[in-house]
Amino acid sequence: MSGERILVAKVGLDGHDRGVKIVARILRDAGFEVIYTGLFQTPETVAAAAVDEDVDAVGLSLLSGAHMTLAPLVVQKLRERGVDIPVVVGGIVPDHDVEELLATGVASVLTPGASAEEVVAAVSAAVVGDG
C-alpha cells in the first residue's frame, strides 16, 4: 500500500487512546497516510471528516462496549453522505458480536492481540475491496 488515506477515530465517551495511536503508527509505517481525529468523536463528525479528508477507509477504535451502536452509526452516516468507504473496527468486541457488525456494513473487526501484520492486512484488504 502506498498513499492510501486512512482516518482513525475514537467514537463516543471512551477516553483511552494509546491503542489507536499505536495503530496509527503501524499504518503510517506501512505506507498509509493517517489522519487521527482525536477523542470523543460522534458518528457524524467521523463521517464529515472522512468526506472532508477524502479518505480510502475509516478505522474505529472502540473499547467502551458501545461498538454495536456506534460502528453501525458511522457506516450509516457515511452512506448518508454518499460515500461507500470501508470501516474497520478494532477494540474490545466479543466474538458473538463480530458477525452482526459485519452484517451492518463493517468491513473487518480486529480484537485485542491483533498483530501489526493483521492490522495492515485488514485495512489493506478493506481498501482494495476484499475485506
Q: Where are the domains of the chain?
A: 5-128
Span of 12-21, 39-48, 49-58, 115-124 with lowest mean pLDDT? 12-21
Residue 14's pLDDT is 85
- On whether the CB atoms of residues 107 and 88 are closer than 8 A, the answer is yes
CA distance 92 to 6: 21
Q: Which residues pair with 110 in a beta bridge?
A: 90
β-bridge mates for residue 34, sequence order:
6
Rg (CA), the chain: 13
Regarding predicted confidence, which is higher, 68 or 130? 68
pLDDT of residue 69: 96
CA distances from 52 to 5, 27, 80, 109 (A): 12, 20, 14, 24
Give domain 5-128's CATH architecture: 3-Layer(aba) Sandwich (3.40)
- Is residue 131 over pLDDT 50? no
Tell me what pLDDT residue 64 has: 87
